[in-house]
């Protein structure tokens, strides 16, 4: 990775920017929390709780590949605080939607992350 492809912001500033921006890209009523990934300074952890009575919650690891691109990895899917098989139709659709919203947020933050 060359210097110009590095993220131009420190991890704590990145977390704060994601906390401000992600709620504007996900569905109204869904809740998102963003934390630093303590094991990886180029990554953040995102938990999204689906709105309504579904009680679905998804944990993602979002890693910056470079200043423009993120890799999104589903870490855990839960319903009623119990891990579930995320391959079912409803969880799979939600994971796809949230992955898209995470990438939209990364695009919205490009001005901050681009060195």
Q: What is the distance between the alpha carbons of residues 42 and 24, in angstroms, rounded to a whole number?
A: 22
Measured CA distances, 87 to 25, 26, 94, 95 (Å)? 24, 21, 11, 9
Please give the pLDDT value at position 2.
43
CATH 3.30.70 given to domain 3-113: no
Please give the pLDDT value at position 5.
67
Please give the pLDDT value at position 3.
46
Q: Mean pLDDT throughout 94-111?
A: 95
pTM value?
Answer: 0.91
Q: What is the pLDDT of residues 54-92, one digit of tens each?
A: 899 999 999 998 887 899 999 999 999 999 999 999 999
Q: What is the pLDDT of residues 2-52, one digit of tens each?
A: 445 677 788 999 999 999 999 999 999 999 999 999 999 889 999 999 988
Buried-state track 68-107, b at ≥16 Cβ within 10 A, e below 16: eebebeeeebbbeeeebebeeeebeebbebbbebbbebbe
């Amino acid at each position: 990775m060359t210097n110009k492809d590095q993220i131009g912001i420190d991890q704590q500033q990145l977390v704060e920017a994601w906390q401000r921006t992600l709620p504007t890209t996900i569905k109204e009523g869904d809740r998102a929390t963003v934390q630093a990934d303590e094991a990886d300074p180029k990554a953040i952890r995102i938990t999204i709780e689906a709105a309504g009575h579904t009680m679905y919650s998804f944990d993602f690891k979002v890693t910056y590949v470079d200043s423009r691109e993120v890799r999104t990895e589903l870490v855990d899917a839960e319903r009623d605080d119990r891990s579930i098989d995320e391959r079912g139709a409803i969880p799979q659709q939600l994971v796809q939607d949230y992955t898209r919203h995470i990438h939209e947020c990364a695009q919205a933050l490009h001005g901050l992350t681009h060195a």
